[in-house]
Amino acid sequence: MFYSRLTHLYSSQVFRRKAVELGERLLPAFKTPTGVPWALLNLKSGIGRNWPWASGGSSILAEYGTLHLEFMHLSKLSGNQEFAQKVMNIRKVLEHLDKPQGLYPNYLNPNSGQWGQHHVSVGGLGDSFYEYLLKAWIMSDRTDEEAKKMYYDALQAIETHLIRKSSGGLTYIAEWKGGLLEHKMGHLTCFAGGMIALGADGAPGDKTGHQMELAAEIARTCHESYARTTLKLGPEAFRFDGGVEAIATRQNEKYFILRPEVIETYMYMWRFTHDPKYREWGWEAVQALEKHCRVEAGYSGIRDVYASSPNHDDVQQSFYQAETLKYLYLLFSDDEHLPSDHWVFNTEAHPLPIIRKASTDPPHKDK
């Protein structure tokens, strides 16, 4: 028993040290005129750069805006406040920028500190930035008022300018391109139902009930994107134009790569409402995954969810185990398992402890 505990302690110290070392190796990415980091970093040379396709070499909102939880945790682990300072600086840069209609474009030039092309998405390129504003507030034991205000202000702008209802009564989150709406919702955007539910109890004024209703409507729309396919698995993106609703109309949007976002929203909705339909919908997804994605060596994505039989892409994405299966497990677990008042999930569903404002709180025990 003593040897086992000693080994556990040693391994914990090793992982902690390695996490801090990696964080230190990443710090040169922030050496830009604004402090907004590069997307890519050579760990040996410390030289950074951005993706060449990203609006004139811009940094991407969902990348530079999805560091807060990890870097705050690193500062807590190491006692080195530089990690926290780097991510707080990103927030300051964003706060001082004029935001079109209160929205955050997906691209920001790290040299000039100016927005790139005005494309706004709560799905790909933008998604986890909004998630991390909310979770920064939660991780701080709800003391980070700046993060709270930024999240609820952003959500209000999203609701005003991006959220629409189809003629058939389905609520969806469109994309905004240079002032024009594209009535398309990506599978990635379906995480927003869970995010809105997670943040509803802190909503300003009397908006808690409204935000829970909005979360439920988004969950229903995302479920419909699954239910309206032949294989009962959701497409990469679905549209609300040309007489179609919650259906992919372009061949390059009909694939399914084992994504977790719809399951993630089911999990949060179950935990906050205990409405049995969310477990029923989750079980429908389990059955479809087992029937159509299970292959000899694991699970595979599918090229066309509207085809009569699956054409596998022969790839099991890493997020399938990290997120999809984990959220399914939590959907069918007791609420006491990784409860949201003790833990916050990063965007890859890795649990991080809430940083308590009072050190007198009892420590979490290892199960």
Residue 232 Cα distances to 153, 163, 202, 227, angstroms = 35, 25, 34, 5
Q: Of 191, 185, 176, which Cα lies nearest the Cα of 240?
A: 185
Q: What sign does the CA torsion over 58, 61, 62, 64 have?
A: positive
Round to whole Å and give the CA distance between 357 and 142. 9
Residues 6+ away with beta carbon under 8 Å from 219: 193, 194, 265, 266, 269, 278
- CB-based burial of residue 69 (10 Å sphere; 0-12 exposed, 13-18 middle, 19+ buried)? buried
Query: Residues 224, 236, 261, 323: which is the catalytic one?
Result: 236
Rounded Cα gap, residues 182 and 184, in angstroms: 6
State yes or no: is 82 an active-site residue. no
Tell whether 347 is in a known binding site.
yes
Query: Residue positions in the annotated binding site for Ca(2+)?
Result: 347
* Catalytic residue numbers, as ranges: 236
